[in-house]
With several copies, the nearest count.
Chain A
Amino acid sequence: MDKIRTDALSERLLRSLAGRTSRRGMLARLGAALVAAPAFPLLPVSRAEAAKDRTAQGLTDFARHAQSKDDTNCDYWRYCAIDGSLCSCCGGGLHTCPPGTEPSPTSWVGTCINPDDGVAYLIAYRDCCGTAMCGQCGCDNTDRESQIYRPQANNDIYWCFGTASMEYHCSTAVLVGVAQ
């Protein structure tokens, strides 16, 4: 498993690119690339500052109470910044969309600490799209969740860019890698 050596750059990346070419064309292409890629690439993401300190004193309220046994509960560790219905309660799983829905190639991202090893992992919250609201196991956790001007860290946006239908059904929590 590769370690992540990213730093906050997504908006800066967009802004710097924008300076060098037609912004609209460039961004449209960038957008298309991001949503069309088959391997589900992520927007480059920031390593959250809070993930540095793994002592009990560095943990958020969510992390201090998180568990690693039941992925149909809001306090499952990967769900530290999830907003919506858990796909695990809707016929899907942690990284599996329910039948008839489509995983979004784009996602928002959280940094969550696994209570079993005390390690911070990057989690991609990938929405499953195409069917209306599952309505089961609604969660809204907000560790290091930012606002719309930092979209990849915001969990209110319908992250169904690049799917055939943007109807939101549920959210998965795909393990991406170690954040350190």
Chain B
Amino acid sequence: MLAAVISPVTLQAESVVPQIEESDVATLPPLSPHMLLLTGDGSIKGTRIIDGDSGKILGTIHTQDLTNVRIAPDGAFFYVAETIWTRGNRGVRQDLLTIYDARTLKIVDEIDLPGRLLVGNRRQTFEISADGRHAFIYNMDPASSVIVVDLARRKVARTIEIPGCALVFAGAAATISSLCGDGTLSTIGIDARQSQDLTPAQPFFSAEDDPIFDNSIADPKSGKAIFLSYSGLVYTATLAPGQGVDAPWSLQQAAGMSPASTRPLEVSWLPGGRQLIAYHRATGTLYVLMHMGEFWSHKEDGKEIWVVDVANRKVLRRHRLAEPVSHIQVSQDDAPLLFLNIENKLVIVDAKTFEEKKSLDNVGNGMMMVPGE
């Protein structure tokens, strides 16, 4: 009787339905430069892995609101920093660094974290060191700290207090850097013996009068960083012990205009949006979402993309957008693609000609990551 129940075949042979197709599961192709990871928030959650050439979805990582995703430097893993309550909106809070195999999207490990800041649309609340050995998670509870995770041993190594500062940039020489409310940059060694601030504490911007956008550009390998202020001042810096920040220059001046003002009533072209800058490292080209407006309009979506030669401090091109854009990213190869997002719609554009290649709806509206950025 039991056998008959276990197998409907023996129970009633005539009723058996033979199956001519087997169900299987796809794996992802190896990481390639035109692959994009797009993390949705709000109404469309999940991180979609998109092939920039075909415009097709290759797979989805399960991520919730306020999740941060990073690509391992060697392309083997996707790292997810996430916070989940055991009962959805209640129960026990679980802060996790979840490690996914980058081909199968299976969970390889889940590392418990002592916390993380809950905020959306920020790149620098989670970073991986250039050698892939450490993950850095910014925490605020509301005291500020950076949690250092040893990715080889898969456990939390230590917590670095960064009072008055926030965010985490992976710098050169085993350091992390943070931006501080007093307008300084703080660089600290990730080794416990180097926990002193290693930078000259020179304020270089005003957090009240012309803040620098949290979403800046930093290369974990070289420590080269680009900061951008609300008014359009560009600060270049090297994130390493003893290094300072270069004198800023104006994006608007680089486009042949007067520098923008921070005063009321004055209208300028200003940077704005969420993920509002992208950087093509090999050519030193910065892409900035710009809009016309008064100061304190720093979240307004971009109406133009300004293409900036950072070394020569020159705006090479101003591209007018057919529809506003809140998020921008650029692939790091020598036939680069621009990824533009507005309200869950992704548009893929040739970064040299601005020709539209593909578009995709309902993919989410959040931070975009590309390999090698």
Contact residues of A with B, CB < 8 Å? 1-2, 4-15, 17-18, 20-21, 23-24, 26-31, 33-35, 37, 39-46, 48-50, 53, 57-62, 89-103, 106, 122, 124, 126, 128, 130-136, 140, 142-151, 153, 156-158, 160-161, 164-167, 169, 172, 174-177
> Does B59 contact A99, Cβ atoms closer than 8 Å?
yes
Nearest CB of chain B from residue A43's CB, rounded to whole Å: 8
Q: Are B25 and A24 in contact (CB under 8 A)?
A: no
A57 to B264, CA, bound (A): 7
**Does B8 belong to the interface (CB within 8 Å)?**
yes
| Of B17, B21, B26, B212, the contact of A98 (CB 8 Å cutoff) | B26
Contact A14 B163 (CB under 8 A): yes
| A contact patch SS | loop
B contact residues around A10 at 8 Å (CB): 181
Contact mask B6-29 → A, CB, 8 Å, 1/0? 111101101111111111111110
Which residue of chain B has its CB nearest to the CB of A156? B119
**B-side contacts of A7, CB under 8 Å:** 14-15
CB pair B161 A18 closer than 8 Å:
yes
In angstroms, Cα B238 to Cα A15, docked, is: 24
Please list 27 pairs of residues, one from A and one from B, whose beta carbons are closer than 8 Å in the complex, sorted by A's number: A7-B14, A11-B181, A15-B182, A20-B1, A21-B1, A24-B143, A29-B5, A37-B7, A60-B295, A60-B296, A90-B59, A90-B60, A98-B26, A100-B106, A101-B25, A124-B19, A130-B62, A131-B62, A133-B45, A135-B363, A144-B208, A146-B211, A147-B212, A148-B125, A158-B118, A176-B19, A176-B21
Interface size in chain B (residues, C-beta < 8 A): 91
Q: Which residue of A lies closest to B7 (CB)?
A: A33
Task: Judge whether B163 and A18 touch: CB under 8 Å.
Answer: yes
The chain B residue sitting closest to A12, CB to CB, is B182
Interchain CB contact under 8 A, B207 and A146: yes
Given contacts A30-B143, A142-B296, contact A156 B122 (CB under 8 A): yes
- Chain A nearest CB: distance from B362 CB in Å? 5
Give bound CA distance, A97 to B26, whole Å: 6
Whether the Cβ atoms of B164 and A98 lie closer than 8 Å is: no
The answer to whether B89 touches A156, judged by C-beta atoms less than 8 angstroms apart, is: no
A119 to B90: give the CA distance in the assembly, Å. Answer: 41
Residue of B nearest to A172 (CB): B23
Cα–Cα distance between A7 and B13 once the two chains are bound (Å): 12
In the complex, the chain A residue whose C-beta lies closest to that of B40 is A135
Complex CA–CA separation, A151 to B121 (angstroms): 15
Interface residues of B in 85-101 (CB under 8 A from A): 85, 88-90, 93, 100
